[in-house]
Chains A and B, each alone.
Chain A
Amino acid sequence: MLNILLRTRIEALLSVLTGAGRTKKAQSKGKLIGFATLMLLSLFSLGILFARIFEVLATPLSMLGMGWLYFGMAVVMSFGLMLIGNVILAKYQLFEARDNDLLLSMPIKPIHILLSRLFLLLVLAWIIMLPVAVPCLLFWPESLGFPGQLAFWTVFVLILPLLNLAISSLLGWLLHLASNKAKNKTLLTLVVTLGFLGVYMVFSFKLNSILSSLAENPSMLEKPLGSAAPVVWLSKSIAENRLDLLGLMLVIALAAFGLCALLLQRTFIKTATAKSTVAKRVYVEQTAEARSPRAALLLHELSRLWSSPAYLLNGALGSFFTLAAAVYLLIKGRSLTASADWQMISFLLQPLILAGLCYMASLVFLTAPSISLEGKYLWIPKSLPVSAWTVLQAKLRLHMLIALPPLVLVSVAAALTLGYEGQMLVLVLILPPLFGVFSGLLGLFENLRHPNFNWINETQAVKSGASVLLTMFIGMGFVLLPVLLCVLFSDWFTPELAGWGMVVLLAVLSGLLYLWLRKKGPRVFREL
């Protein structure tokens, strides 16, 4: 029975990774390859970030004979990354999966259901770990000359996700129990996820200073990491090829996973079938305020966004960042520009900050999964006396409502505090909001072309839909392209020229996308 369940999970995973089975039509080979390439590209871009860290640290730590510290950092970073990726997923996949009731009604042992789901999470953890583990190995000087290191590294890659899975599953379980008692589940999930992301962001912001401090004084992390025994054991096992420590860690990981599986198995049926214990809200009859159909549709889109932490956190993450950036600039912006360093390289920083603001705009893609999220509810907008264009407009308006105010705010904050002048001042005021408009139109366009109604959990539609990935990558491409052109052809391709080029390009593309959505979008929606 476990075999059948595992096969189903593998099929589901492949379907997510390749974008297959999203619509009733068969996926073409080209699309399969394209989608898989996109997934690989996203892992690659994350890998680049970590490659930078290992590139800086590898040689000094190797020369000092502190390989354990190097691999210790890899352990901590990959563990953190897996934890961020898997805790919320474990909550949804293990305890809130829509097919739990169906599977529990079948002659299947609960432990088999649990193990098949844990297997999926394990594979995902392994995939999440690769952007850290691969550059870690590649930059370590000794790894290429000694095959044994590769063998130890391979075992490390297999052990760590197992240990991580035990902890993420337990945290996911606790989060599920807490959300069952919470009055506002979205808020709880939002706080937990933003907490994780906050730690990650602080780490990313401080990366440069951490790296330069480490390069000067590599032993600064020796004490804090050295006090975490399992980290030391695991890192020493790879750095020093210690079979005894590797064996010990393998036993610890297997024991932790076994204990976690046992605990979850004992409570699985009760947890998976538990009803929320929040007190029942009593209906008090009252006359509602009348709204126009347009306003009702927009309110409905807002309700959906607010009710779904996955949608909110993935689709509107850029808005959280943008708001944080605006507040940061308003508080600290002027002191940044007062420094001597700023004066020297402001010509470089100003365009880069502008590119960064555009990048944040590209991280808001509320429209990209909005059609897919209709899923089983698609009959409702189709049967209502509103045009398909009105339905599509509501999705666009939601995007603009959430994306544009923070973008306008951050643009104004940057213009006020970072000393932009002349053409750059105009560009910083119009480019990020224009990017936000483009991102919304592009997301809706892509989702109409690549809808996915076969999701079991809405996280699938929100996180891994082809439309989401395409919107994200096209947006990133539009940010990177002018930056690259400025770097490669700096003699004649100035930031101002790149900026105005982007304004024209985005305005034209936005116009074309709007025309397509207006003319063809409703027909495509009606035929879904």
Chain B
Amino acid sequence: MLTINHLTKTYGDKKAVDDLSLHIAPGEIYGFIGHNGAGKTTTLKACAGILPFEGGSIRVDGLDIVSDPLECKRKMAYLPDNPDIYEYMSGIRYLNFIGDVFRVDPAVRRERIHKYAEMLGIEGDLAQPVSAFSHGMKQKLVLISAWIHEPKLILMDEPFVGLDPKAAFLLKELMHEHCDKGGAIFFSTHVLDVAEKLCDKVAIIKEGRLIASGSMQEVKGNESLEEVFLELEDDHA
């Protein structure tokens, strides 16, 4: 579903991502972990077609993000680390805006908005302007906007930050449900316990370079993901 080949992205002289390669297959929940500034957000933004990059290639469901960006974007959804959404729109207007751009049929859109907004407990607030939403509510709105067009691939940057425990639980359910239907999820997180329980595969990045990747069992063996992460961080210091 997502193939990253030798991705390299630089900011001035600094290599934010250095020769990174990963493959995320349909049905997989792929965790992406690393310290602050390791290159997680840059990688996710490059995959989402937001950030141009200098080297390598990214393919989404067989399509190249550089030569066919619009088709790639139609197949995926991206959730940023900060849910910065148009504050001058109401929640429902933002969702309809996303629905229009992704050409989701109005009746289907209505059904999905109802399903996810009710599940996440913000249906009653959808007429409010986004500026009146709390951080968590904005996060939930971004989640609904991602699921509204049923993308094949979902890219998420720290999706659990700001969510209440119930919403975090529901998000995990949604992620499983999405992958059970053949979709794929690639997400970054600092919550290693969540990553360990949720992910089929995991990649660890440090200073832009991939230092470990594979199935959860391959990467952590008999240790906890936290122990492995800290050891790898020290080994590559």
* Contact partners of B45 in chain A: CB under 8 A: 379
Q: Are A376 and B84 in contact (CB under 8 A)?
A: yes
- Interface-facing stretch out of A107-115, A196-204, A279-287, A334-342: A279-287
Pull 29 A–B residue pairs with CB atoms less than 8 Å apart, ordered by A.
A276-B132, A280-B128, A282-B127, A283-B124, A283-B127, A285-B123, A287-B110, A288-B99, A288-B106, A288-B109, A289-B106, A290-B106, A293-B101, A295-B100, A296-B96, A299-B97, A300-B86, A300-B89, A303-B88, A304-B86, A308-B88, A380-B85, A382-B49, A382-B50, A383-B48, A383-B73, A385-B101, A385-B102, A526-B52
Q: Is the CB of A292 closer than 8 A to any CB of chain B?
A: yes
Q: Name the CB-closest residue of A to B126.
A: A283
Rounded to whole angstroms, the CA-CA distance of A281 and B124 in the bound complex is 9
Knowing A288-B99, A288-B106, A292-B100, say if A383 contacts B49 (CB, 8 Å). Answer: yes
Among A281, A288, A295, chain B packs the most CB atoms within 10 A around the CB of A288
Rounded to whole angstroms, the CA-CA distance of A384 and B78 in the bound complex is 9
* Contact partners of B109 in chain A: CB under 8 A: 287-288
* Contact partners of A285 in chain B: CB under 8 A: 110, 113-114, 123
Rounded to whole angstroms, the CA-CA distance of A110 and B86 in the bound complex is 30
Q: Is the CB of B234 closer than 8 A to any CB of chain A?
A: no
Give, as a whole number of angstroms, the nearest-CB distance from A394 to chain B: 11
Give, as a whole number of angstroms, the nearest-CB distance from B60 to chain A: 11
Among A299, A377, A385, A526, chain B packs the most CB atoms within 10 A around the CB of A385
Knowing A286-B110, A300-B86, say if A386 contacts B100 (CB, 8 Å). Answer: no
* Contact partners of A379 in chain B: CB under 8 A: 45, 50, 78, 80, 84
Q: Are B82 and A293 in contact (CB under 8 A)?
A: no
* Contact partners of B190 in chain A: CB under 8 A: none
* Contact partners of B125 in chain A: CB under 8 A: 283
| Chain A residues close to B by CB (< 8 Å) | 275-276, 280-293, 295-297, 299-300, 303-304, 307-308, 376-377, 379-380, 382-387, 526-527
Rounded to whole angstroms, the CA-CA distance of A385 and B77 in the bound complex is 10
* Contact partners of A276 in chain B: CB under 8 A: 132
Q: Name the CB-closest residue of B to A286.
A: B110
Q: Produce 1/0 per residue, B65-92, CB < 8 A to A.
A: 0000011011000101010111011111
Dominant SS at the A interface? loop
Q: Name the CB-closest residue of B to A387.
A: B70
Q: Are A303 and B93 in contact (CB under 8 A)?
A: yes
Q: Are A303 and B106 in contact (CB under 8 A)?
A: no
Q: Name the CB-closest residue of A to B122.
A: A283
Rounded to whole angstroms, the CA-CA distance of A526 and B50 in the bound complex is 7
Give, as a whole number of angstroms, the nearest-CB distance from A521 to chain B: 15
Rounded to whole angstroms, the CA-CA distance of A285 and B116 in the bound complex is 13
Rounded to whole angstroms, the CA-CA distance of A292 and B78 in the bound complex is 21
Q: Are B110 and A383 in contact (CB under 8 A)?
A: no
Give, as a whole number of angstroms, the nearest-CB distance from B114 to chain A: 6
Give, as a whole number of angstroms, the nearest-CB distance from A440 to chain B: 21
Q: Are B88 and A290 in contact (CB under 8 A)?
A: no
Q: Name the CB-closest residue of A to B92.
A: A283
Q: Are A304 and B88 in contact (CB under 8 A)?
A: yes
Knowing A281-B128, A283-B126, A383-B78, say if A296 contacts B92 (CB, 8 Å). Answer: no
How many residue pairs link A and B with beta carbons under 8 A? The number is: 95
Q: Name the CB-closest residue of A to B51.
A: A382
Q: Are A293 and B100 in contact (CB under 8 A)?
A: yes
Report the 9 A-B pairs with minimum CB-CB distance, sorted nearest first.
A307-B88, A296-B100, A385-B73, A283-B127, A283-B126, A281-B127, A376-B84, A385-B74, A382-B50
Rounded to whole angstroms, the CA-CA distance of A456 and B229 in the bound complex is 38
* Contact partners of A526 in chain B: CB under 8 A: 52
Rounded to whole angstroms, the CA-CA distance of A286 and B90 in the bound complex is 14
Give, as a whole number of angstroms, the nearest-CB distance from A500 to chain B: 43
* Contact partners of B102 in chain A: CB under 8 A: 384-385
Q: Are A296 and B105 in contact (CB under 8 A)?
A: no
Rounded to whole angstroms, the CA-CA distance of A290 and B82 in the bound complex is 28
Knowing A282-B127, A287-B106, say if A297 contacts B101 (CB, 8 Å). Answer: yes
Q: Is the CB of B107 closer than 8 A to any CB of chain A?
A: yes
Q: Are B74 and A288 in contact (CB under 8 A)?
A: no
Give, as a whole number of angstroms, the nearest-CB distance from B17 to chain A: 17
Rounded to whole angstroms, the CA-CA distance of A380 and B79 in the bound complex is 10
Q: Are B92 and A290 in contact (CB under 8 A)?
A: no
Give, as a whole number of angstroms, the nearest-CB distance from A15 to chain B: 22
Known A-B contacts: A284-B127, A288-B96. Give 14 more (CB < 8 A).
A281-B90, A282-B124, A283-B91, A285-B114, A286-B110, A287-B109, A288-B109, A290-B105, A296-B100, A379-B78, A379-B80, A382-B48, A382-B49, A384-B98
Give, as a whole number of angstroms, the nearest-CB distance from B216 to chain A: 28
Rounded to whole angstroms, the CA-CA distance of A283 and B52 in the bound complex is 39
* Contact partners of B78 in chain A: CB under 8 A: 379, 383
* Contact partners of B90 in chain A: CB under 8 A: 281
Give, as a whole number of angstroms, the nearest-CB distance from B12 to chain A: 10
Give, as a whole number of angstroms, the nearest-CB distance from B67 to chain A: 13
Q: Are A527 and B52 in contact (CB under 8 A)?
A: yes
Rounded to whole angstroms, the CA-CA distance of A519 and B107 in the bound complex is 38
Rounded to whole angstroms, the CA-CA distance of A383 and B60 in the bound complex is 14
Rounded to whole angstroms, the CA-CA distance of A280 and B122 in the bound complex is 13
Rounded to whole angstroms, the CA-CA distance of A438 and B124 in the bound complex is 45
Q: Name the CB-closest residue of B to A382.
A: B50
* Contact partners of A284 in chain B: CB under 8 A: 127
Q: Is the CB of B172 closer than 8 A to any CB of chain A?
A: no
Q: Are A296 and B97 in contact (CB under 8 A)?
A: yes
Q: Are B100 and A290 in contact (CB under 8 A)?
A: yes
Among B71, B88, B124, chain A packs the most CB atoms within 10 A around the CB of B88
Rounded to whole angstroms, the CA-CA distance of A387 and B74 in the bound complex is 12
Rounded to whole angstroms, the CA-CA distance of A387 and B69 in the bound complex is 8
Question: Which chain B residues numbered 170 to 186 have a C-beta less than 8 Å away from chain A?
Answer: none
Q: Are A377 and B84 in contact (CB under 8 A)?
A: yes
Q: Is the CB of B103 closer than 8 A to any CB of chain A?
A: yes
Q: Are B103 and A293 in contact (CB under 8 A)?
A: yes
Among B45, B96, B113, chain A packs the most CB atoms within 10 A around the CB of B96
Q: Name the CB-closest residue of B to A290.
A: B106
Give, as a whole number of angstroms, the nearest-CB distance from A391 to chain B: 10
